[in-house]
């Protein structure tokens, strides 16, 4: 708790003037449940990340009222959607009010003629697509947290989509949205006038500014989204290779082939195969000469998918790929939409099973830099593991971000034994995260393609990555959030103020 009991009473009383009793939550379970995120953190320090209370607004105006109260009383506000982010965007670092948007989950309109829908940002893509399927439509924003992440969180993190190489990522799929600024003003933002416009040259392009800010610039509450026909067909072959270089070459060739239905390709390195060989039923029986994997994915009309599939199958054959069979291919791809449901455990150096949580470090890396970046990352984790059993290298994936194959969401998955994560191990981890980010920058990569870069460690290097742009971030933050109430402590944005609490 970061505010006194007296201040808490003042805040709670003010909130109860604009919300019902059941929308203002002060109980311990209510607060504890809204401090929880998937990324590992030392268990003994969780109390540092608790909100003082949580609210459940049901529309834009109620969110605005809450933010106005917070701004007036100088109380931190943290927006929380699915809470599935891996860079702590939804974690309150200074206590205050968590705005849980899950009740803002209505489907307001499905416009089949213009191919858009307008929804409350508390809806999940899965629930939305169940409804859209009745109209033969899909909203193809597909993160690995697909069943549990929410549209608003995707906006706040500017999310990355597994099938973004065909359909684009969240920034491409969200046309416009209503947004509550840190002062409590309500803004509609999109291209130009917003609404259902997909391309405008009128005024500054503000939409991207209000995406990916990790809740530091306000709360998206109602969004208009671009829709596509629900695909007739899916094709997702997985291939085995006896060496990494062949798999790397094959994935590059998939991405460069210019197939219209190409939705993504993935490269799995030797460390990832070794990890899967321990615990994944598809890979346990694979022969020892399987050392790297690749897959490609097509979605679209069946005739188009079949034409593209033949081309990519020939490319795979020319690169010495061994098809892993229909069951593995189809099962593995289907499981990628829902990685958060995967139970996890790692190994000590002696091979004993230990409970571990998943930490995913990601970067946006050009194709030609993938081998070097991933090798250097593995060396960093190998050094950690040589010192302690707390960390386990679970290998890397590289996913295409675009249809041309220019850059890849490159992630190294690290198992962390959270119960053993003491202060010393946490410091080691933060140092490793900083080193991982530094490797990315040295190779012209961006620190994050997907999750954001505001956790301890990598966040130290964000000013290096953005250069003068980081100063512009500080100027924007100070201008829009004069009292530093909106998710304070993130992205080093406190540097915009004379004191961390803003100009109090």
| Beta bridge partner(s), residue 238 | 295
484 contributes a contact to other proteins by CB under 8 A:
no
Q: Which of 17, 47, 281, 479 is close enough to bind other proteins by CB under 8 A? A: 281
Q: Are 177 and 156 in contact (CB under 8 A)?
A: no
Mask of contacts with other proteins, 157-196, x by CB under 8 A? ----------------------------------------
Q: Which of 61, 245, 326, 503 is close enough to bind other proteins by CB under 8 A? A: 326
299 contributes a contact to other proteins by CB under 8 A:
yes
Closer of 314 and 504 to other proteins (Cβ): 314
344 contributes a contact to other proteins by CB under 8 A:
no
343 contributes a contact to other proteins by CB under 8 A:
no
Angle among Cα 154, 477, 219 to the nearest 5 degrees reads: 35
352 contributes a contact to other proteins by CB under 8 A:
yes
Q: C-beta of 195: minimal distance to other proteins in Å?
A: 28
Q: C-beta of 237: minimal distance to other proteins in Å?
A: 4
Query: In Å, how far from its chain's centre is CA 498?
Result: 31
Of 66, 32, 98, 123, nearest to 487 by C-alpha is 98
Closer of 36 and 310 to other proteins (Cβ): 310
For the record, the structure tokens of 106 come out as: 């209505």
Mask of contacts with other proteins, 228-247, x by CB under 8 A? --xxxxxxxx----------
For the record, the structure tokens of 200 come out as: 């405008």
Q: C-beta of 291: minimal distance to other proteins in Å?
A: 15
Closer of 280 and 460 to other proteins (Cβ): 280
User: Which distant-in-sequence residues (6+ apart) come within 8 Å of 22 by Cβ?
Assistant: 56
C-beta neighbour count of 80 within 10 angstroms? 28
442 contributes a contact to other proteins by CB under 8 A:
no
Angle among Cα 472, 211, 504 to the nearest 5 degrees reads: 55
314 contributes a contact to other proteins by CB under 8 A:
yes
Q: C-beta of 290: minimal distance to other proteins in Å?
A: 12
For the record, the structure tokens of 285 come out as: 């029986």
d(Cα 55, Cα 78) in Å, to the nearest integer?
10
d(Cα 493, Cα 489) in Å, to the nearest integer?
7
Q: Which of 20, 108, 310, 424 is close enough to bind other proteins by CB under 8 A? A: 310
- Please choose, out of 83-91, 198-206, 294-302, 393-401, the segment that lies near other proteins by the rule CB under 8 A: 294-302
Q: Are 155 and 223 in contact (CB under 8 A)?
A: yes
Of 125, 172, 131, nearest to 149 by C-alpha is 125
Q: Are 221 and 152 in contact (CB under 8 A)?
A: yes
Q: Which of 48, 185, 338, 383 is close enough to bind other proteins by CB under 8 A? A: 338
Q: C-beta of 284: minimal distance to other proteins in Å?
A: 5
Q: Are 297 and 265 in contact (CB under 8 A)?
A: yes
Size of the site for other proteins (CB under 8 A): 48
277 contributes a contact to other proteins by CB under 8 A:
yes
Q: C-beta of 115: minimal distance to other proteins in Å?
A: 18
C-beta neighbour count of 466 within 10 angstroms? 15
C-alpha distances in Å from residue 375, one per residue of 194, 288, 337, 396, 444: 44, 21, 27, 10, 16
Q: Count CA within 13 A, CB hemisphere, residue 197.
A: 14
Mask of contacts with other proteins, 110-129, x by CB under 8 A? ----------------x--x
């089949």: which residue's tokens?
112
Q: Which of 27, 355, 469, 500 is close enough to bind other proteins by CB under 8 A? A: 355
Where along the sequence are the contacts to other proteins (CB under 8 A)?
A: 126, 129-130, 133, 138, 142, 230-237, 277-279, 281, 284-285, 298-299, 302, 305-306, 309-310, 313-314, 317, 323, 325-326, 329-331, 334-335, 337-338, 345, 347-348, 351-355
């Amino acid at each position: 708790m970061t505010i006194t009991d007296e201040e808490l009473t003042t805040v709670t009383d003010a909130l109860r003037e604009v919300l019902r009793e059941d929308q203002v939550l002060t109980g311990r379970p209510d607060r504890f449940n809204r401090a929880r995120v998937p990324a590992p953190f030392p268990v003994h320090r969780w109390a540092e990340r608790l909100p003082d209370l949580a609210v459940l607004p049901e529309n834009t105006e109620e969110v605005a009222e809450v933010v106005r109260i917070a701004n007036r009383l100088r109380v931190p506000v943290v927006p929380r959607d699915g809470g599935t982010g891996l860079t702590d965007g939804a974690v309150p670092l200074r206590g205050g009010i968590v705005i849980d948007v899950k009740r803002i989950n209505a489907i307001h309109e499905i416009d089949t003629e213009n191919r858009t829908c307008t929804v409350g940002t508390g809806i999940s893509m899965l629930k939305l697509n169940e409804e859209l399927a009745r109209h033969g439509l899909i909203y193809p924003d597909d993160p690995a947290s697909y069943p549990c992440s929410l549209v608003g969180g995707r906006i706040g993190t500017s999310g990355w989509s597994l099938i973004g190489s065909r359909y684009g990522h969240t920034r491409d799929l969200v046309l416009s949205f209503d947004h509550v600024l840190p002062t409590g003003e309500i803004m509609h933002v999109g291209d130009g006038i917003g609404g259902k416009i997909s391309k405008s040259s009128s005024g500054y392009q503000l939409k991207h500014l209000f995406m990916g800010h990790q809740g530091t610039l306000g709360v998206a509450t109602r969004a208009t989204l671009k829709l596509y026909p629900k695909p007739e067909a899916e094709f997702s072959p997985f291939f085995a290779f006896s060496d990494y270089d062949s798999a790397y070459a094959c994935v590059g060739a998939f991405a460069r082939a210019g197939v219209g239905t190409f939705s993504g390709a993935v490269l799995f390195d030797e460390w990832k195969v070794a990890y899967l060989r321990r615990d994944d039923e598809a890979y346990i029986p694979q022969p020892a000469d399987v050392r790297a994997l690749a897959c490609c994915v097509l979605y679209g009309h069946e005739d188009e998918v079949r034409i593209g599939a033949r081309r990519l199958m020939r490319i795979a054959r020319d690169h010495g790929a061994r098809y892993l069979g229909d069951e593995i291919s189809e099962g593995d791809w289907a499981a990628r939409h829902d990685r958060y449901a995967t139970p996890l455990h790692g190994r000590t150096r002696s091979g004993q099973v230990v409970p571990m949580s998943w930490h995913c470090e990601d970067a946006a890396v050009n194709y030609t830099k993938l081998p070097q970046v991933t090798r250097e990352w593995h060396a960093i984790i190998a050094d950690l593991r040589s010192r302690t059993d707390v960390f386990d290298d679970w290998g890397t994936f590289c996913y295409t971000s675009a249809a041309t194959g220019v850059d890849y969401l490159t992630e190294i998955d690290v198992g962390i034994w959270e119960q053993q994560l003491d202060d010393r191990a946490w410091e080691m981890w933060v140092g490793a995260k900083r080193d991982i980010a530094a490797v990315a920058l040295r190779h012209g990569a961006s620190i994050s393609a997907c999750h954001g870069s505001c956790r301890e460690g990598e966040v130290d290097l964000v000013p290096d990555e953005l250069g003068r742009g980081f100063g512009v971030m500080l100027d924007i933050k100070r201008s829009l959030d004069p009292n530093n109430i909106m998710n304070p402590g993130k992205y080093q944005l406190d540097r915009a103020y004379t004191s961390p609490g803003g100009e109090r």
